[in-house]
Amino acid sequence: MTLDKKYYITTPIYYVNGDPHMGHVYTTLACDFMARFKRLDGYDVHFLTGTDEHGLKVKQEADKLGITPQEFTDQVSQKFQDVLPRMNISNNDFIRTTDERHKAACQALWKKLEAAGDIYLDKYAGWYAVRDEAYYGLDELTAGPDKDTMIAPSGAECKWVEEESYFFRLSNYTDKLLEFYEAHPEFIGPNSSLKEVKAFVAQEGGLKDLSISRTTFDWGVPVPGNDKHVMYVWIDALTNYISALGYPDEDAPLFSKFWPADVHMVGKEITRFHCVYWPAFLMSAGIALPKTVFANGWWVVEGEKMSKSLGNVITPDTLIERYGVDASRYVLMSLIPFGNDGNFAHDLAVHKINNDLANGLGNLAQRTLSMVQKNCEAQVPAVSAFNDEDNALLDKAHKETIETVRSKMDAFKYHEALQEIWRLVNMANGYIDAQAPWGLKKTDPERMAVVLYTLIETIRCLAIMVQSIMPESAAKILDQLAVPEDQRGFIHLSEEYALKSGTALPKPEGVFPRLELEEEAA
């Protein structure tokens, strides 16, 4: 365990060109899982999310609706904020790029880059896609429906644009970035993203200077000293990670404590911007670089990409209605290796929930606590000596599991961390079947008490560990074990805080209902 007990984690800020969907929830939940885990492990955590609200697309959408861009972004940003409590997300802050604190930080950063000699004024000409907010080279494009239109690899239409623009001297940072990646291989994850970014930076001829301002629209952060220009999306959006901490005041309590970020969690489509442009801006400004940028994969639904036209877009409310909050959180983090692309299928989700939660942890807790209620006067049983089988399970619960889970979480192997916890669930279910405490009531009541104590102490440890992914369900189990609220951290996974014999226990209730597949229910 690190002695540096603070942790700063961020989601990407989500663009307000549509309602929140499962892709947004997935990345935010991954950050919440880690943030809650670190808090339980004794860290002071700062967890940031937010919305990206500038750009031509926002202006065009607002114009269509006959409202101002600010009114439009207020409405859509609120939808993203409303999702957070519904999915039980524990963010500490929500940054909007229309916040005054953010605009001030962007302009301060711009001045730093300018003072470093890395910004100059020139003209830009190229094929521009409004939908992607990106320029494309001719070699990336295919012919469009008319001579004035080309088609980007994303399918977006591109038009030829010529405008005055400020540029950032990204070409100065090719070697510096490659040297940094070599010295800090943990900076980019997973490994596939690291290879992709290295290949991009090391391309023949090196990096090209980057256009960082626009004059064709005015919905953005004005460039200091030339308000005919607004900052382009990437210099504006990326600055959120420090504007939320109080930058440009580098002595601000949050900035001085939490920067550099421990991890920026991003979708893999924006890895390049976070691993090339952002570190180059920070190098230019003399600001420390984040420790890690980790890219998660994309979800498809029932084998097809999410699409409004196909009617298969999964919203947060869809997940909650079908599975409940905690089961939704669990299944999203456990179905696929984090960082890989995944296929979300309803039957897979239902089987996962039923096998791991209803039949696994839920059944273990319910049948054990019911036996304690019935056979031990509804209190933690008094125990005599433990045998080797008891100690093996208790050692796994008190020490071995959390050590392995901690290493998996630090490597962003979320599904493996959960698998490790469920190895303990399975071990406990195997133990109860082998020990058969229901048969010991008459033949060996002392042994029955030891077996049931070993089981409920293991369940206590399991419930503490699953708080980070299923906080409400874990709290229900811990309440049924009468565990004090101030004894639910990972530091309490030890014999010192084990359940005390004679403690009264409430009547147990089921925590994880079994789900039916829709076709079975029909």
pLDDT in tens, 287-301: 999 999 999 988 888
Q: Is residue 334 part of a domain?
A: no
The secondary structure element, H or E, covering residue 186 is none
Report the SS3 class of residue 426: helix
Q: What is the reported pLDDT for 309?
A: 57
Averaged pLDDT, 39-45: 98
Q: Are residues 356 and 268 in the same domain?
A: no
Mean pLDDT of the chain: 94
Find out whether 267 and 248 touch, Cβ atoms under 8 Å.
no
Q: Are residues 293 and 404 in the same domain?
A: no
Whether pLDDT at 192 is above 50: yes
Out of 261, 277, 297, pick the residue that ends a domain: 297
Q: Are residues 63 and 183 in the same domain?
A: yes
Whether pLDDT at 4 is above 60: yes
Q: What is the reported pLDDT for 516?
A: 85
Q: What is the reported pLDDT for 19?
A: 86
Q: Is residue 450 part of a domain?
A: yes
Q: What is the reported pLDDT for 204?
A: 87
> What residue type is 47 in one-letter code?
F
Classify each residue of 390-429 as buried b or exposed e, where b means 16 or more C-beta atoms within 10 Å of its C-beta.
beebbebbbeebbebbbebbeebbbbbbbbbbbebbeebb
Q: Are residues 83 and 206 in the same domain?
A: yes
Q: What is the reported pLDDT for 511?
A: 97
Paired residues of 188 in beta bridges: 293
Q: Write out pLDDT tens, residues 311-332.
A: 677 889 999 999 999 999 999 9
Q: Are residues 238 and 177 in the same domain?
A: yes
Q: What is the reported pLDDT for 514?
A: 93
Q: Are residues 251 and 351 in the same domain?
A: no
* pLDDT-derived band at 520, boundaries 50, 70, 90: very low
Pick from 285, 179, 165, 280: nearest CA to 230: 165
Q: Write out pLDDT tens, residues 239-265.
A: 999 999 999 999 999 999 999 999 999
Out of 266, 297, 328, pick the residue that ends a domain: 297
CATH code, 70: 3.40.50.620
Find out whether 454 and 390 touch, Cβ atoms under 8 Å.
yes
Q: Is residue 270 part of a domain?
A: yes
Q: Write out pLDDT tens, residues 428-447.
A: 999 999 999 999 999 999 99
CATH code, 369: 1.10.730.10
Find the range with the poorest average confidence among 34-43, 54-63, 84-93, 130-139: 130-139
Cis peptide before 12 (omega within 30 of 0): no
Averaged pLDDT, 37-44: 98
Q: Are residues 288 and 357 in the same domain?
A: no
Within 10 angstroms of residue 63's Cβ, the number of other Cβ atoms is 12
Q: Is residue 285 part of a domain?
A: yes
Q: Write out pLDDT tens, residues 353-394.
A: 999 999 999 999 999 999 999 999 999 999 989 999 999 999
Q: Is residue 55 part of a domain?
A: yes
Q: Is residue 186 part of a domain?
A: yes
Q: Is residue 145 part of a domain?
A: no
Q: Are residues 356 and 279 in the same domain?
A: no
* pLDDT-derived band at 219, boundaries 50, 70, 90: very high
Measured in residues, the chain has a length of: 522
* pLDDT-derived band at 137, boundaries 50, 70, 90: confident
Q: Which domain holds residue 110?
A: 6-118+169-297
Pick from 455, 265, 425: nearest CA to 330: 425
Cis peptide before 190 (omega within 30 of 0): yes
Averaged pLDDT, 124-140: 84
d(CA 118, CA 447): 75
Q: Is residue 261 part of a domain?
A: yes
Whether pLDDT at 521 is above 50: no
The two tokens of residue 127 are: 């094929």
pTM of structure: 0.93
Pick from 429, 423, 398, 424: nearest CA to 499: 398
> What residue type is 21 in one-letter code?
H
Q: Are residues 370 and 287 in the same domain?
A: no
Q: Are residues 416 and 482 in the same domain?
A: yes
The two tokens of residue 15 are: 């663009």
d(CA 307, CA 90): 29
Q: Are residues 359 and 250 in the same domain?
A: no
Pick from 454, 478, 481, 462: nearest CA to 394: 454
Burial of residue 131 (CB within 10 Å: 0-12, 13-18, 19+) is: middle
* % of residues, the chain, pLDDT over 70: 97
Whether pLDDT at 342 is above 90: no
The count of domains in the chain is: 2
Q: What is the reported pLDDT for 233?
A: 86
Whether pLDDT at 306 is above 60: yes
d(CA 401, CA 416): 12
Q: What is the reported pLDDT for 281?
A: 98
Out of 297, 314, 336, pick the residue that ends a domain: 297
* pLDDT-derived band at 2, boundaries 50, 70, 90: very low
Q: Are residues 184 and 96 in the same domain?
A: yes
The two tokens of residue 108 are: 């301060």
Q: What is the reported pLDDT for 300?
A: 80
**Sign of dihedral through CA atoms 483, 486, 490, 492?**
negative
> What residue type is 409 in one-letter code?
M
Q: Write out pLDDT tens, residues 206-215.
A: 999 999 999 9
The two tokens of residue 129 are: 């896609």
Distance set, CA 253 to CA 15, 36, 44, 250, 258 (Å) = 28, 22, 13, 8, 8
